[in-house]
Amino acid sequence: MTVAPRTALWTAKEASEATEGAIAGDWVASGVSIDSRALEPGDLFTALKGPNHDGHDHVAAALESGAVAAMVEQRFDGQVPAGRLLKVQDTVEGLRDLAAAARARTDAKICGVTGSVGKTGTKEMLAAALGCQGKITATAGNLNNHFGLPLSLARMPADCDYGVFEMGMNHAGEISPLSHLARPHVALITTVAPVHIEYFENEEGIADAKAEIFDGLEEGGAAVLNRDNPHFDRLAEKARAAGAKMIWGFGVHSFANARLLAYEPDATGARVEATVGSRHLKYRIAMRGKHWALNSIAVLAAATSLGADPEQAAAALTDVLPTKGRGHVFTVQLEDGIVSVIDETYNASPVAMRAAFDVLAATKPGRGGRRVVVLGDMLELGSRARDDHMGLATDIKQHDFDLVFVCGQYMSDILDDLPTDLHGGRAGTSAQLADQVTNKLRSGDLVLVKGSAGAHMSKVVEAIRAMGGVSDSGGSA
């Protein structure tokens, strides 16, 4: 994958003109950062003011750490060299202005990615699929909100060939301004599911909020939508109303024009066969789970719409591994063997839980080992929370799992609906559950750990990692 090198990104004059800010010195920034702890030498540090922290308190530290300059508000009176400041009225707007200028000066083909689940993994696959064919800028991690999307755009060099930007939300009205800023040529929605349903009246409301990604769609653009999702027609209608000239429907549906024909998981990922438009493709992915195969087809449809070669794009997917907390796999060496762990602790929803169960069920544990499930609460489900948690018991009983551990306000209750021979343990919090899990694990076990980020299931993962020597394979168990 060819990543844009860290060369000149913003001169002081360019940044000043983009933001209508005042400068008193001459500098060249090779990047943009909003976190003084994570910036790289050569960055332009942007001092954002949030509900809990004010970046202006860290300007001096940022400059000492190698930032060439800092974007600050006019009120800033810190004792730093004036020649290393870009003074603007509002740094949040200043960052948006940089993003808008970056978008305006490039001829790059842009794809916006959203969806109830699978956004970040799909974004990573698309970045790889396009990055092997040109220079690309993509959202780092999940910087997909009203700060993250402008930051990602502001980091895009003028000579990029492609841009891939993730857009997230948990309330209506949040994606529309992001889409207007990114102005995508292709808008990809992975799926619509009852995630963040606490903030919506129904799933239709979630679908409409995801459809805001079409608000900034460039003239003649394309939409890539899940043909198997019950909201496909609703989304397609909104895409056409926004001016989309091409609608890609991906899935197993007989009417899908990007269609999954075969999915065969194996020890190191899966083999996929699909048609994308008129192209018949066979390729490998390094991630297990039919949902990943389906999202890979969405990626190929998007890449095709952006003018990339789908066969080269498909070949690049072989090397894309799950990221930390999103299906990342590692092993722990015990005295008498190994324990394998599927880390799904970044987030959780009913649809994501069931997809993870399918992956665990399709993966063999080691010799003498068991399939172990460790679950924490799924958050932001509103009035549906108890029913959605209890509904997972049925799915667990349908699979060949051996031991179940649970924690949290709602997840703890599902143990009562499971056979007693599945009972591993329960606790109020993940920290309390961690000892129960590690005390019962044995050589050969394959462990799925999953819950919403707010359930802090990473504490269980950390406890398992501390049991012995760790090997981070990143791929499938």
Q: What is the CATH number of the domain that holds 42?
A: 3.40.1390.10
DSSP string, 298-333: HHHHHHHHTT--HHHHHHHGGG-PPPTTTTEEEEEE
The pLDDT score that the predictor gives to residue 255 is 97
Q: Please report which helix (H) or strand (E) contains residue 12, including its range.
A: helix 12-19
For residues 163 and 446, what is the distance between their CA atoms, to the nearest angstrom? 37
Asked if residue 351 and residue 226 are part of one domain, the reply reads: no
CATH number reported for the structural domain that contains residue 255 in this entry:
3.40.1190.10
State whether residue 221 is helix, strand or coil.
coil
pLDDT < 50 regions, the chain? 1-4, 476-477
Asked if residue 203 and residue 88 are part of one domain, the reply reads: no
**CA of 376: how far to CAs of 125, 157, 345, 389, 398, in Å?**
28, 41, 9, 10, 20
Judge whether 2 lies within some domain: no
Domain end point (choices 94, 124, 141): 94
For residues 206 and 238, what is the distance between their CA atoms, to the nearest angstrom? 13
The pLDDT score that the predictor gives to residue 53 is 87
**CA of 17: how far to CAs of 64, 89, 101, in Å?**
26, 13, 9
Asked if residue 112 and residue 90 are part of one domain, the reply reads: no
User: Which strand ranges, in their side-by-side order, compose the sheet holding 246-251?
Assistant: 136-138, 162-166, 109-114, 186-189, 222-226, 246-251, 258-266, 269-276, 279-285
Total-model pTM: 0.88
Asked if residue 223 and residue 143 are part of one domain, the reply reads: yes
**Phi and psi, residue 197, nearest 5°:** -60, -20
Under 8 Å between Cβ of 222 and 258: no
Judge whether 5 lies within some domain: no
**CA of 459: how far to CAs of 157, 280, 430, in Å?**
38, 44, 6
Asked if residue 152 and residue 77 are part of one domain, the reply reads: no
Asked if residue 160 and residue 277 are part of one domain, the reply reads: yes
* Domain ranges, residue 385: 328-472
Asked if residue 397 and residue 256 are part of one domain, the reply reads: no
State whether residue 338 is helix, strand or coil.
strand
Domain end point (choices 94, 126, 161): 94
Instruction: Please state the domain count of the chain.
Output: 3
CATH number reported for the structural domain that contains residue 455 in this entry:
3.90.190.20
The pLDDT score that the predictor gives to residue 266 is 84
Domain end point (choices 257, 284, 319): 319
Radius of gyration of the chain (CA): 23
For residues 70 and 436, what is the distance between their CA atoms, to the nearest angstrom? 48
The pLDDT score that the predictor gives to residue 50 is 82
